[in-house]
Structure 1
Amino acid sequence: MTLTHNRKPDESKTAVLAVNVGKPQALPGQKREVMSGIVKHPVSGPVFLSFTGMTGDAQADLEHHGGPDKAVCVYDYSRYAALEELMNRKLDWGACGENLTVEGCREDEVRIGDVYELGEATVQVSQPRQPCFKLGARYDYKELPVYFQDSGHTGFYFRVLQEGEVAPSAVFRRISTDPASLTILDANRIMHQGKQDSMGMRTLLAIPTLSDSWKQTLLKRLTKLESEQQG
């Protein structure tokens, strides 16, 4: 059975559909306590977006989540229908733990380094999202993170270039892009399916606006790959 949300995406424009925040809480139904900030709910008014995130939002695992390069998690609503069909359930805004539920920002359209006006703030795409096991734990669907990874429909992160208030009705538009940069979809392919693709890794590493954590991972992988090839 196919489930649908009450709003259809309009791929002709870029817009914020919901601004979502949440504090860490224990996920139900786990064998051991799993704390996560993945459960987020839409706000009705403006929130302040700082260099490290939105007021009212927080992460439980600060080693792998949050920080300046991952201040805002973004997910395009056009991906909801496939998830609803996969899990046979209706999803609400913020269902994937994203701070911004948007339209017009699919992974094949957005490039690393793209800069957007977001209400009073200015933000920049830093890296794809890498869903962890907590996404599957939230819905008792352990294959969900693998689905995100294999499809490449992961969403992405913004770093904040200029702080400011963001409301659900905020102006949201791309103000700069580099056609030579890679899309989120391309970056995901290189990270997850192109582990032997040294040229792809070098191309991704050459993007100056790529997050430090992705650069570190790719550099380690590339160094190991080239060492094995030489040996």
Structure 2
Amino acid sequence: MTTGTLLAVCRVHELLPTKDSTGVTAIDKRAVAGAVNVHALGLTGDIQASRKHHGGPTKALYAYSQEDADFWTQQLGREVTPGLFGENLRVGGIDASHAVIGERWAVGDQVVLEVTMPRTPCVNFARYLGERSWVRRFAEANRVGTYLSVVTRGSICAGDTIRVVSAPEHGITAAQVYAGLDERQAQALLDAGASGQIALTPQVRKSALQALKVASPA
């Protein structure tokens, strides 16, 4: 059983203005002290300014690994502090980018989360960081982290142990979905969804169907 540590719990510090139709972004997240309640749509006290793109039950929480943050610290020449990438959970010892779709994490004594899909970088992320060609660079590195849904509510805090309590047999990871599925991977995900082994998000299902269409053009 894979285990890791919840290094930080992060929630919105300040809403920042954007040029899109939403008008604001909640990407400015910072680590908070003490226990934080987890509900169906994320953390108590957090905000998802655009639930169409960054929220809702299948994107309740966003996790990012310290190991990936360390990579970017070297690449950018500045520390990638918890929350800088808009993540809610900074984790250590758990590879969030390569977590299997449908994998479940037990966090602390109460909360259970399920891996749903990779994070897709957006223009607000790029503007917030102020790094040249950031969306392209982030995408090419494919250290994207993962979104999670909430299976069991409760409270979490920094220092909690994370245990991977189950992982579907299909083995397809968030990073593989983001990179683009091949025909075998796409069919494996669709079969897992059809059998009830996992609950595919509309985005992942669409990616799988598109991969099969490309592999078998009409």
Shift of 1:27: 4.7
Contact 1:40 1:98 in 2 (8 A): yes
- State percent identity of aligned pairs: 25
Go from structure 1 to structure 2 and tell me whether the alpha carbon gap of 1:104 and 1:27 turns closer, same or farther (over 3 Å shift).
Answer: farther
- 2:9 corresponds to 1:19: yes
After superposition, the C-alpha distances for 1:157-179 in whole angstroms (9 at most, x for unaligned) are: 11111111111122321111224
Go from structure 1 to structure 2 and tell me whether the alpha carbon gap of 1:202 and 1:39 turns closer, same or farther (over 3 Å shift).
Answer: same
1-structure distance, mates of 2:124, 2:173: 25
TM-score (norm 1): 0.80
Worse-matched range after superposition: 131-140 or 18-27: 18-27
- 2:157 corresponds to 1:167: yes
Equivalent positions of 1:140-179 (< 5 A) are: 140-179=130-169
Shift of 1:122: 0.9
2-structure distance, mates of 1:200, 1:115: 20
Correspondence for 1:55: 44
Q: Aligned to 2:165, what secondary structure does the other structure show?
A: strand
- For structure 1, the residue ranges without an aligned partner over 5 or more in a row are 1-11
1-structure distance, mates of 2:114, 2:205: 17
Q: Aligned to 1:64, what secondary structure does the other structure show?
A: helix
Matched pairs, number: 211
- For structure 2, the residue ranges without an aligned partner over 5 or more in a row are none
Task: Give the aligned residue type for 1:200.
Answer: Q
Go from structure 1 to structure 2 and tell me whether the alpha carbon gap of 1:27 and 1:141 turns closer, same or farther (over 3 Å shift).
Answer: farther
Equivalent positions of 1:80-99 (< 5 A) are: 80-99=69-88
Shift of 1:187: 2.0
Larger radius of gyration: 1
Q: Indicate the RMSD between aligned Cα atoms, in angstroms.
A: 2.6
Go from structure 1 to structure 2 and tell me whether the alpha carbon gap of 1:134 and 1:181 turns closer, same or farther (over 3 Å shift).
Answer: same
TM-score (norm 2): 0.85
Q: In the alignment, which of 204, 207, 212 is matched to residue 202 of structure 2?
A: 212
